[in-house]
Structure 1
Amino acid sequence: MAVLVLIGILVLVVGGCVCVVWASRGGPRWVRGVAYVTLTAGEVLRKSSRSNGKSGGQSSSSGDDGS
């Protein structure tokens, strides 16, 4: 069952990426909508991962900057 869920998520991610590429080449309106949703979801996930690892990331990056 978990494998089917993971395959479904993989299909959605790959489909979203295909729509982003297709929309950049002037696809139909629904493709641009899916691309917008895909890019927005990516931004939300990126911001949430930065805020979750912010304290750990700052301490390690400050150590890298000092060397």
Structure 2
Amino acid sequence: MEIAFFSGLLALVVFGLVCIVWAQLGGPRWVRVIAAITQGAGAMARAASKSGRSGGNGSSSSTSDD
């Protein structure tokens, strides 16, 4: 069940990205709408990711043990 869910989610993401490229090339109106929705969802995901992080400047303070 989880594989089907994530496969569907991946298909939606790929479809959105294809619509973004197609809209840049002058696609039909429905493609531009899907592209705008996809870009809006990406902007919301980035904003949620930024607000979920702790720290002020966004740089990682962890060190690597090589």
Give the alignment's TM-score, normalised by structure 2. Answer: 0.84
CA root-mean-square deviation: 1.9
In the TM superposition, structure 1's runs of 4+ consecutive aligned residues that sit over 2 Å from their partners are: 58-63
Distance 1:25 1:60, change over 3 A: closer
| 1:24 is aligned to 2:24 | yes
In the alignment, residue 31 of structure 2 is paired with which amino acid? V
Structure (1/2) with the larger helix percentage: 1
Unaligned runs of 5+ in 2: 62-66
The verdict on how the C-alpha distance between 1:60 and 1:16 changes in structure 2, with shifts beyond 3 A counting, is closer
Partner of 2:9: 9
3-state SS of 1:16 partner: helix
**Amino acid corresponding to residue 20 of structure 2 in structure 1:** V
Counterpart of 2:64? none
TM-score where L is the length of structure 1: 0.83
